[in-house]
């Protein structure tokens, strides 16, 4: 480097905590902007707080101080930034970027009733330079899974990355932030075009147990038969066959993995969409799953495993880092991956910073994560989804 030259940062990120959320927002956005030392193009921010009105004011304050940039954000039960993960307390994370040559097109999605079904309106048609869409949705009233499921063919294969917002008071406390506005419905996001986007990393936090099984009878989200046998009896057989360690994990929370690619020769860890086992009915022999299931699909029971989740994330980040020079990232981690799974809430962000060698990593703990696997967009559970930007 020649004498007198200096590096100019293109990315900034800061996380602040405090009971006064507006003050925390001011400190976070100013600290993040200061790291870039110049005009920024994109600001993504996330607010956690117990009072929805304070969350709204904090989000508006971020957008006021970052005027001139494209701004999107949401409420959550925990935020990620500054090398930390903070859950269930007042906190604000602000991530910002100067992206020369990158095109940014913000959008807001909503639903309208057409005949006997809901239609999603507001999505911009991707242009030839668009590389990804960041998407933040209200999971309580926006049909996120259906929209994401149809997005791959509808948007010409455009990847979607993001997460489902939440709030400390549940449904009534969700807030989405978009271009100076605070809304409580639909979804918001931004199309990102140009060469600044490197790609995505999707890592799961569950380990498969027992055999792969074909769904032979189902109704909606109810599993009735697996491999020709009563689904509840199959579950009992599985639990009885588990080791003491796996049985303890199953007691903490058992999940169902739905194979993403039915045509794959094998289905192993990472090949399933993880869905909660939300209920059982021994008399009916049914298992309730947090998604629609169809006859012919392949499923496999899953348990949350911190060790496996740690190893999978590290391996996927290392593989990605071997091919790309990463400058920053947006991280969407499941709200079941913080202190509920690991010894500390910082696990995922520290792994990203350590393995990829980046500091500007911001995001939030989501109620469902959005990311592509095998070129197809999915809503995930218990995953960490990273959107990486070029150095």
Residues 382 and 262 in one domain: no
Q: pTM score, two decimals?
A: 0.90
Give the end of a domain, one of 303, 328, 353: 303
Residues 294 and 315 in one domain: no
Residues 46 and 184 in one domain: yes
Residues 116 and 249 in one domain: no
Residue 345 lies in a domain: yes
Residues 316 and 214 in one domain: no
Q: What is the rounded distance in angstroms from the CA atom of residue 254 to the CA atom of residue 206?
A: 10
Give the end of a domain, one of 272, 303, 334: 303
Residues 101 and 132 in one domain: yes
Instruction: List beta partners, residue 44.
Output: 72, 95
Residue 354 lies in a domain: yes
Predicted confidence band of residue 268 (pLDDT cuts 50, 70, 90) = low
Number of folded domains that form the chain: 2
Q: Which residues contact 245 (CB under 8 A, 6 or more apart)?
A: none
Q: CA quadruple 51, 56, 62, 64: dihedral positive or negative?
A: negative
Residue 2 lies in a domain: no
Residues 63 and 178 in one domain: yes
Residue 3 lies in a domain: no
Which residues form the domain of 62? Answer: 11-203+309-390
Residue 84 lies in a domain: yes
pLDDT, tens digit, 9 for 90 and up, residues 294-352: 999 999 999 888 998 999 999 999 999 999 999 999 999 999 999 999 999 999 999 99
Residues 324 and 248 in one domain: no
Residue 6 lies in a domain: no
Residues 223 and 172 in one domain: no
Residue 1 lies in a domain: no
Residues 280 and 344 in one domain: no
Instruction: Say which range, 93-102, 169-178, 190-199, 263-272, has the weakest mean pLDDT.
Output: 263-272
Q: What is the rounded distance in angstroms from the CA atom of residue 72 to the CA atom of residue 106?
A: 8
- The pair of three-digit structure tokens given for residue 87, joined into one six-digit string: 């859950």
Predicted confidence band of residue 5 (pLDDT cuts 50, 70, 90) = very low
CB 262 within 8 A of CB 297: yes
Residues 188 and 50 in one domain: yes
Give the end of a domain, one of 252, 276, 303: 303
Q: What is the rounded distance in angstroms from the CA atom of residue 215 to the CA atom of residue 52?
A: 42
Residues 21 and 128 in one domain: yes
Residue 149 lies in a domain: yes
Asked if pLDDT for residue 278 goes beyond 80, the answer is yes
pLDDT, tens digit, 9 for 90 and up, residues 161-179: 999 999 999 999 999 999 9
Query: Is 67 buried (19+), middle (13-18) or exposed (0-12) by CB count in 10 A?
Result: exposed
Q: What is the rounded distance in angstroms from the CA atom of residue 198 to the CA atom of residue 207?
A: 28
């Amino acid at each position: 480097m020649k004498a007198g030259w200096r590096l100019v940062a293109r990315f900034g990120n800061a996380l602040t905590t405090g009971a006064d959320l507006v003050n925390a927002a001011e400190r976070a956005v100013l600290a993040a902007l200061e790291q870039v030392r110049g005009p920024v193009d994109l600001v993504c921010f996330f607010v956690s707080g117990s009072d929805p009105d304070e969350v709204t004011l904090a989000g508006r304050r971020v957008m006021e101080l970052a005027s001139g940039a494209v701004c999107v954000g949401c409420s959550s039960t925990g935020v990620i930034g500054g090398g930390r993960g903070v859950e269930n307390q007042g906190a604000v994370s602000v991530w910002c970027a100067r992206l020369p040559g990158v095109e940014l097109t913000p959008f807001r999605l909503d639903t309208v009733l057409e005949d006997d079904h809901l239609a999603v309106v507001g999505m911009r048609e991707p242009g030839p330079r668009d590389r990804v869409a960041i998407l933040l949705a209200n999971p309580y009233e926006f049909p996120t899974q259906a929209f994401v499921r149809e997005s791959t063919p509808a948007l010409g294969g455009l990847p979607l990355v993001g997460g489902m917002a939440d709030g400390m008071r549940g449904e009534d406390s969700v807030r989405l932030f978009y271009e100076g506005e605070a809304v409580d419905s639909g979804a918001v996001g931004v199309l990102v075009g140009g060469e600044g986007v490197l790609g995505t990393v999707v890592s799961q936090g569950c380990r498969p147990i027992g055999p792969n099984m074909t769904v032979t009878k189902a109704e909606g989200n109810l599993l009735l038969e697996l491999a020709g046998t009563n689904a509840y009896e199959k579950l009992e057989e599985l639990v009885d066959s588990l080791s003491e360690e796996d049985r303890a994990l199953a007691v903490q929370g058992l999940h169902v993995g739905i194979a993403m690619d039915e045509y794959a020769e094998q289905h192993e860890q990472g090949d399933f969409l993880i869905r909660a086992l939300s209920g059982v009915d021994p008399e009916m022999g049914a298992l309730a799953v947090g998604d629609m299931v169809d006859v012919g699909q392949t499923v496999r029971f899953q348990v949350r495993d911190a060790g496996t989740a740690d190893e999978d994330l590290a391996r996927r980040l290392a593989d990605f880092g071997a091919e790309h020079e990463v400058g920053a990232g947006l991280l969407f981690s499941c709200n079941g991956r913080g202190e509920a799974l690991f010894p500390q809430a910082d696990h995922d962000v520290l792994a990203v910073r350590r393995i990829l060698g980046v500091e500007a990593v911001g995001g939030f703990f989501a109620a469902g994560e959005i990311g592509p696997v095998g070129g197809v967009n999915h809503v995930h559970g218990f995953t960490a989804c990273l959107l990486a930007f070029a150095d």
